[in-house]
Amino acid sequence: MEKIYGQFRLEGAPLYCGRYGSGHINDTYLLATDQPHLYILQRLNNKVFPNTQMLMRNLIAVTDHLRKQDSDPRHVLVLVPTLTGDPYLTTEEGDVWRLYEFITDSLCLDKSETVNDLLQSGVAFGSFQNQLADFPASTLGETIPRFHDTPNRFALLHKAIEADPLNRAKAVEAEIQRFLSHEQEADALLSLNRSGELPLRVTHNDTKLNNVMLDRRTRTPLCVIDLDTVMPGLAANDFGDGIRFGASTAAEDERDLSKVSMSLELFKAYATGFIGACGQRLRPLEIETLPMGAKLMTLECGARFLTDYLMGDVYFHIARPEHNLDRCRTQITLVEDMERKWEDMARIVAQAKE
């Protein structure tokens, strides 16, 4: 690792560098120096992101835009340059490494400890969308083409079932059927976009609770992180992914499915924070379709976990052999629970707008 971090403009002598966080995509390390000064060092996953140079161009443009509105260094990700003055490092092997200032006195939660924590993450992602409302969307590259194209995610699931390279499909036939029985709904939001009823906005597209840093003392939002998928998208998807992860009563990879449900209390908290922070920007139909965003993001993410399980765990980092299978089971359990709570979800969203 010294070969990597030694090429950045560090303050102080490095003391420690070790794996950090619970992201599923990039390789993340905490780097500490004797100043003391903390950094986050990351290698981008170039299997997931086909064009890492374009991704970094997006990231620099988006953070520059955010910084014009808020110059506090704890509020916007800060890249530390290399010794040669570049904003990130490209190795001879073609890997891209970046170094961030560590956001100090912050919390990054895999699970909300209080209802207010989730409400605050809704505020963070709602405000994020507001801050990017005047960002020139056409200058953003598509870092993962068709990222939230749910029908295409189902097409990829079908391909995986057919290819079945590890002979796993037979044993998970029940899970496959639970997902496929929802396939006809997959296009519900994109079709409204094609007909011009739902607009594209600049969205984050990965609005998990652990992609926002809260202030350790006040527990209010400090900074939205993980900007690798900032692209034009639907507001309902940013709402929906926040619910998928944050309003669940259990972890994304919980094995005991009796613990997994979608909490209406948490749903209401996130809806209140998100809708409040998006302000007047959302059209009535965008608000009305927020529950559908929650259902489709959960269905889509579950279909992606199942696809990855069938393909041999080539996309998401796993920590145990059936990790992706466990994850897909929690997601489909949540989808089915949302269906039971559908009317309450619609009512809560309508009330949050008032």
In angstroms, what is the minimal distance from the CB of 106 to ligand ADP? 6
The binding track of 223-242 with respect to ligand ADP, each residue x by CB under 6 A or -, is --xx-x--------------
User: Would you tell me how many other CB atoms lie within 10 Å of the CB of residue 57?
Assistant: 16
Indicate the residue among 228 and 326 with the shorter CB distance to ligand GN1. 228
Bridge partners (DSSP) of residue 223 are 213
- Applying CB under 6 A, the residues found at the interface with ligand GN1 are 23-25, 48, 206, 208, 211, 226, 228-229, 241, 252, 301
Out of 4, 14, 17, 28, name the contact with ligand ADP by CB under 6 A: 28
Site for ligand ADP in 29-58 (CB under 6 A): 40
Binding to Mg ion by residue 252, rule CB under 5 A?
A: no
CB 232 within 8 A of CB 58: no
Q: Which does 267 bind (CB under 5 to 8 A by kind): ligand ADP, ligand GN1, Mg ion, none?
A: none
Kindly state whether residue 176 participates in binding ligand ADP, applying the rule CB under 6 A.
Answer: no
Question: Residue 296 Cβ, how far from ligand GN1 at the closest point, in Å?
Answer: 12
Give the containing element (helix H, strand E) for 98.
strand 96-101
Place of tokens 């092997």: 93
- 103 belongs to the binding site for ligand ADP (CB under 6 A): yes
Task: Answer whether 178's CB lies under 8 Å from 219's CB.
Answer: no
Measured between alpha carbons, how far is residue 232 from residues 49, 54, 140, 174, 276 in Å? 16, 15, 8, 35, 21
Our finding on whether 140 is near ligand ADP (CB under 6 A) is no
DSSP 8-state code for residue 351: H
**CB of residue 225 to ligand GN1, shortest distance in Å:** 9
Alpha-carbon distance 333 to 302, whole Å? Answer: 10
How far apart CA 303 and CA 157 sit, in angstroms, is 7
Report the interface residues with Mg ion, using CB under 5 A: 23, 211, 226
